[in-house]
């Protein structure tokens, strides 16, 4: 018994529902197909029987696929009273799922029935079918590739039949070979095979959605025989047999016993164990021989070897590679050239330090275990006395007094190299000239020279750190075999910013020339420090500076220029660029009594360096100079004010803006208008006859020269006072003046007045006279000054009266009628001027 409350059942679950009024066998599911193509639709129906009386009259049937409810079920009552629900799933995208028919029972979902659905693909055509005959098991083994996954249980069967032709006609069938689950190969036993006869073989794949077959393979089982590989081994040493040559290996093999009656050929492959070398193939090996000598290998090197064989000349398959065999080749004597160089100690000339470098003459020059330096005494035939035996590339030894030459050889277990003679003689050849060196980059140095005459056979070049780090033990050297070379690029053991000593020695036949040396930096640096600034002279607005250039330093790039900087108290900076040959500079345009900070920068192609800062203060101006400056400034200010005043006074365009512009009647159109004058209107001056007044001229205070009269009879005015005579002119007032009239506002004087009274009146006349050149602004002007109109005096009653004539006057003059503006003006109210 089981109660399913949440519809969580597996495909192997047994559905038994025992409830009050059991639901057992109440529902049943039918599907269109339990296995479909992946993604195809599927239709299912669920029927609830009528005998389930404990259910609701109209129960609602629900569908669920896996754990998800599926909508879209169509429910109906059939004629026999049963309830049916039909659902169509448009795409089945699950390779395996359970479809359930459920009802709501109480508070849980009860399953009435469920069915397992599968989806997948039909089997693909198997491909790459191949077979081989294994003589060890006496069976035909075939293998294939099944193709992509189908998601459905798929079975493979290896089918075959016997045929006497080219498999066009099918003979007796051979028992099918079914592989184990998950395997893609199968073996046909020997008892089902007919050797030396063709047979047709193919693979058939089958599942619920279809069947497929591979292309048919037609073969003779003996044509696909695969042999087992031989067993490699080394040859046993024999006293009669010659030892293997250097770089050779002697080996043999034992063939596979079941294949002794089969003709076959073999091939060998090998590779050195050191490094990541690839396999090298050697073959085919001789047919009947079971041993082989492999040469052309590196001496003293361990090798890995393997062998395989195939049926030949008949068809067959290569066997697998045999298990590996490891052998080591024999050594060969070193085949190298030893470049040598030697040096004598200064304190002990018989102590020699010998250096050498092995240069391989072949690709495989043999392993070197050590070096021996020896010499042969002249009186002892065949005797060789060793001086040094070392594994290093140098040796220091004491040279016997009678020895002039030593021999150097390299050796190993197979023998020694050809001896290299070293002649220890004094330098007797010519020296090279003009040795020089320069840096190409931070890790290389170029050294060049001019070869001597005659040409040397070669050169020895030594280099190492120069002082103070110089050491003979850390020097590097090499030999240049080309005697006509004029330079060499040093790349070994070169570090940047280091001083190197380079020594070049020419080599001649049985002697050498004197050594020459030169120092060079691998990379030059910026100047270590800039020159120190000194103040030479200083003024109020200038300062003269000087400095002493630093001497050239090894490893320091030559200077290209100087830059001098100065900064004032307001933090304003200035600079000037000078050439590298400069020794001083004058700062101009400084402010008096000001503080300045100055420093010098020395620059080269490798960088720049600043000097220490020099602080200075310019001089303060003296007292007398200050007074002169202030006086000049005051004089300049005074001249400016005078020029401004003259400009304002002389320019009429600048006068009017300073005070209001009042029209000038004397220079207006009114001054050129002459009205008609009747005979009765003309008045005359007493005692002067009847000369009409035509013009009145104002005399300036400092003007003493009389103005010429316009009238021809000047004797008539001799009786007037001196200051009045210049005011009276003779002429006809009705005559129009022929002189051009200035426009209003163009003259500096303003003649303005007002007449009160009449000249025919018996009483004295009253008038107002303006003595100022300024326009009338308001009210009456003050009385005339003492030098103008002196003949008028104020009476005690406040009226204006004429003063009594003096004895000096020749004429008597009454009240003035020659006021400047009376010319051309019609006079009204003459009754008040009765005394005229």
Band the pLDDT of 625: cuts 50, 70, 90. Answer: low
Q: What is the pLDDT of residues 146-199, one digit of tens each?
A: 988 889 899 999 998 888 778 887 878 888 888 888 889 999 888 888 778 888
pLDDT > 90 in the chain, percent:
16
Which residues contact residue 380 at a Cβ distance below 8 angstroms, ignoring those fewer than 6 apart? none
231-237+244-328, CATH topology level: Immunoglobulin-like (2.60.40)
Q: What do you get for the CA distance between the two ends of the chain, in Å?
A: 167
Structure-token pair, residue 814: 């009454």
Q: Distance between CA 465 and CA 460 in Å, rounded?
A: 17
Q: Is 119 exposed, middle or buried (0-12, 13-18, 19+ CB in 10 A)?
A: buried
Total Cβ atoms within 10 A of residue 214: 23
Strands 35-37 and 108-120: parallel
Q: Distance between CA 573 and CA 629 in Å, rounded?
A: 29
Altogether, the residues listed in the chain come to a count of: 836
On the question of pLDDT at 655 being above 90, the answer is no
Does the fold of domain 336-423 match that of domain 22-120?
yes
Strands 217-219 and 225-226: unpaired
Domain 433-521: top CATH class: mainly beta
Q: Distance between CA 558 and CA 572 in Å, rounded?
A: 31
Please name the residue that has the structure tokens 């009240």. 815
Task: Report whether 326 contacts 232 (CB < 8 A).
Answer: no
User: Which pLDDT belongs to residue 615?
Assistant: 92
Task: Report whether 545 contacts 586 (CB < 8 A).
Answer: yes
Query: Chain-centre distance of CA 331, in angstroms?
Result: 57
Over residues 407-419, mean pLDDT: 89
Comparing 450 with 774, the larger pLDDT belongs to: 450
Q: What is the pLDDT of residues 513-522, one digit of tens each?
A: 888 888 888 7
Which CATH code, of 2.60.40.10, 3.40.50.2300, 2.30.30.180, 3.40.47.10, is assigned to 22-120?
A: 2.60.40.10
Tell me, yes or no, if the pTM score tops 0.75. no
Comparing 543 with 720, the larger pLDDT belongs to: 543
CB half-sphere exposure, 343, CA atoms < 13 A: 18
Over residues 289-298, mean pLDDT: 84
Please name the residue that has the structure tokens 């002007």. 781
Task: Report whether 835 contacts 814 (CB < 8 A).
Answer: yes
Strands 280-282 and 291-294: unpaired
336-423, CATH topology level: Immunoglobulin-like (2.60.40)
Structure-token pair, residue 81: 């009273």
On the question of pLDDT at 258 being above 60, the answer is yes
Q: Distance between CA 111 and CA 464 in Å, rounded?
A: 95
On the question of pLDDT at 12 being above 50, the answer is no
User: Which pLDDT belongs to residue 5?
Assistant: 35
Peptide bond into 454 cis (omega under 30): yes
User: Which pLDDT belongs to residue 672?
Assistant: 54
Q: Which of 232-236, 319-323, 682-686 has the highest mean pLDDT?
A: 319-323
On the question of pLDDT at 701 being above 60, the answer is no
Give the DSSP letter of residue 262. S
CB half-sphere exposure, 15, CA atoms < 13 A: 24
Domain boundaries, the chain: 22-120, 127-226, 231-237+244-328, 336-423, 433-521, 533-618
On the question of pLDDT at 743 being above 50, the answer is no
Band the pLDDT of 714: cuts 50, 70, 90. Answer: very low
Comparing 220 with 742, the larger pLDDT belongs to: 220
What is the DSSP code string of 420-487? Answer: EEEE-----SPPPEEEEEEEEETTEEEEEEE--SSPPSEEEEEEEE-TTS--GGG-EEEEE--TT--E
Q: What is the pLDDT of residues 662-692, one digit of tens each?
A: 666 656 555 555 554 444 444 444 444 444 4
Over residues 502-518, mean pLDDT: 86
Peptide bond into 465 cis (omega under 30): no
Q: What is the pLDDT of residues 791-832, one digit of tens each?
A: 444 444 444 444 444 444 444 444 444 555 554 454 455 454
Task: Report whether 459 contacts 477 (CB < 8 A).
Answer: no
Question: What's the chain's average pLDDT?
Answer: 75
Structure-token pair, residue 287: 């047919």
Q: What is the CATH number that goes with domain 127-226?
A: 2.60.40.10
Structure-token pair, residue 464: 């190492």
User: Which pLDDT belongs to residue 422?
Assistant: 87
What is the CATH architecture of 533-618? Sandwich (2.60)
Over residues 299-328, mean pLDDT: 88
Q: What are phi and psi of 602, to 5 degrees?
A: -100, 125
Q: What angle do CA 701, 704, 707 make, to 5 degrees?
A: 105
Task: Report whether 394 contacts 354 (CB < 8 A).
Answer: yes
Peptide bond into 619 cis (omega under 30): no
Candidates 459, 443, 438, 437; CA nearest to 493 is 443
Q: What is the pLDDT of residues 15-44, one digit of tens each?
A: 333 333 445 567 888 898 889 999 889 899
User: Which pLDDT belongs to residue 497?
Assistant: 80
User: Which pLDDT belongs to residue 81?
Assistant: 73
Structure-token pair, residue 773: 């050149």
């Amino acid at each position: 018994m089981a109660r399913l409350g949440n519809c969580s059942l597996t495909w192997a679950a047994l559905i038994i529902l025992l409830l009050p009024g059991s639901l057992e066998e109440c529902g049943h599911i039918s599907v269109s197909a339990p296995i479909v193509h992946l993604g195809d639709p599927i239709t299912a129906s669920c029927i609830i029987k009528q005998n389930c009386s404990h259910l609701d009259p109209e129960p609602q049937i629900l569908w669920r696929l896996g754990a998800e409810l599926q909508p879209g079920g169509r429910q109906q009552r059939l004629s026999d009273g049963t309830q049916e629900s039909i659902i169509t799933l448009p795409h089945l995208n699950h390779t395996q799922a359970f479809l359930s028919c459920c009802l709501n029972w109480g508070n849980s979902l009860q399953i009435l029935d469920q069915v397992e659905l599968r989806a997948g693909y039909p089997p693909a055509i198997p491909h790459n079918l191949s077979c081989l005959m294994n003589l060890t098991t006496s069976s035909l083994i075939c293998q294939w590739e099944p193709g992509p996954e189908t998601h459905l249980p798929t079975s493979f069967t290896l089918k075959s039949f016997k045929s006497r032709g080219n498999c066009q006609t099918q003979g007796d069938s051979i028992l099918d070979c079914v592989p184990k689950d998950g395997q893609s190969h199968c073996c046909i036993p020997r008892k089902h095979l007919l050797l030396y006869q063709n047979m047709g073989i193919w693979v058939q794949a089958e599942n619920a959605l279809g069947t497929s077959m591979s292309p048919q393979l037609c073969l003779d089982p003996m044509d696909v025989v695969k042999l087992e590989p031989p067993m490699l081994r080394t040859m046993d040493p024999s006293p009669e047999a010659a030892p293997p040559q250097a770089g050779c290996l002697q080996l043999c093999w034992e063939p596979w016993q079941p294949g002794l009656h089969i003709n076959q050929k073999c091939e060998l492959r090998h590779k050195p164990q050191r490094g990541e070398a690839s396999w090298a193939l050697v073959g085919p090996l001789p047919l009947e021989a079971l041993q082989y000598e492999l040469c052309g290998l590196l001496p003293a090197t361990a090798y890995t070897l393997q062998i395989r064989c195939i049926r030949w000349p008949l068809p067959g398959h290569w066997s697998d590679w045999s298990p590996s065999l490891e052998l080591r080749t024999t050594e060969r004597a070193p085949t190298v050239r030893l470049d040598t160089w030697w040096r004598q100690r200064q304190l002990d000339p018989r102590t020699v330090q010998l250096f050498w470098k092995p240069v391989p003459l072949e690709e495989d020059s043999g392993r070197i275990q050590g070096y021996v330096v020896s010499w042969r005494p002249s009186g002892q035939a065949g005797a060789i006395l060793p001086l040094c035996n070392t594994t290093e590339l140098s040796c220091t030894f004491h040279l016997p007094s009678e020895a002039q030459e030593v021999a150097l050889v390299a050796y190993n277990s197979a023998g020694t190299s050809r001896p290299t003679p070293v002649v220890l003689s004094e330098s007797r050849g010519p020296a090279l000239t003009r040795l020089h060196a320069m840096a190409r980059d931070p890790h290389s140095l170029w050294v060049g020279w001019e070869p001597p005459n005659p040409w040397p056979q070669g050169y020895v070049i030594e280099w190492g750190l120069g002082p103070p780090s110089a050491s003979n033990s850390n020097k590097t050297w090499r030999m240049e075999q080309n005697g006509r070379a004029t330079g060499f690029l040093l790349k070994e053991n070169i570090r940047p910013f280091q001083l190197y000593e380079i020594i070049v020695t020419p080599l001649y036949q049985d002697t050498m020339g004197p050594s020459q040396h030169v120092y060079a930096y691998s990379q030059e640096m910026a100047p270590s420090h800039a020159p120190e600034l000194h103040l030479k002279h200083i003024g109020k607005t200038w300062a003269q500076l000087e400095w002493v250039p630093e001497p050239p330093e090894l490893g320091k790039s030559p200077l290209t220029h100087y830059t001098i900087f100065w900064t004032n108290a307001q933090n304003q900076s200035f600079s000037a660029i000078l050439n590298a040959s400069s020794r001083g500079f004058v700062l101009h345009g400084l402010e008096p009594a000001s503080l300045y900070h100055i420093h010098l920068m020395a620059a080269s192609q490798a960088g720049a360096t600043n000097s220490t800062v020099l602080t200075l203060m310019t001089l303060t101006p003296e007292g007398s100079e200050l007074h002169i400056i202030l006086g000049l400034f005051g004089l300049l200010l005074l001249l400016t004010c005078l020029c401004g005043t003259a400009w304002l006074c002389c320019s009429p365009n600048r006068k009017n803006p300073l005070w209001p512009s009042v029209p000038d009647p004397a220079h207006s159109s009114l001054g050129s208008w002459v009205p008609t004058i009747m005979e009765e209107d003309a008045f005359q001056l007493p005692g002067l006859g009847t000369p009409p007044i035509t013009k009145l001229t104002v005399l300036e205070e400092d003007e003493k020269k009389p103005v010429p009269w316009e009238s021809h009879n000047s004797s008539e005015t001799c009786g007037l006072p001196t200051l009045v005579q210049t005011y009276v002119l003779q002429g006809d007032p009705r005559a129009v003046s022929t002189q051009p009239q200035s426009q209003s506002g163009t003259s500096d004087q303003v003649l303005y007045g007002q007449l009160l009274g009449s000249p025919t009146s018996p009483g004295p006349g009253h008038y107002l006279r303006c003595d100022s050149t300024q326009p009338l602004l308001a009210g009456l002007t003050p009385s005339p000054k003492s030098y103008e109109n002196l003949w008028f005096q104020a009476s005690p009653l406040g009226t204006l009266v004429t003063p009594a004539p003096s004895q000096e006057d020749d004429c008597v003059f009454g009240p003035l009628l020659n006021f400047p503006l009376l010319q051309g003006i019609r006079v009204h109210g003459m009754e008040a001027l009765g005394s005229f």
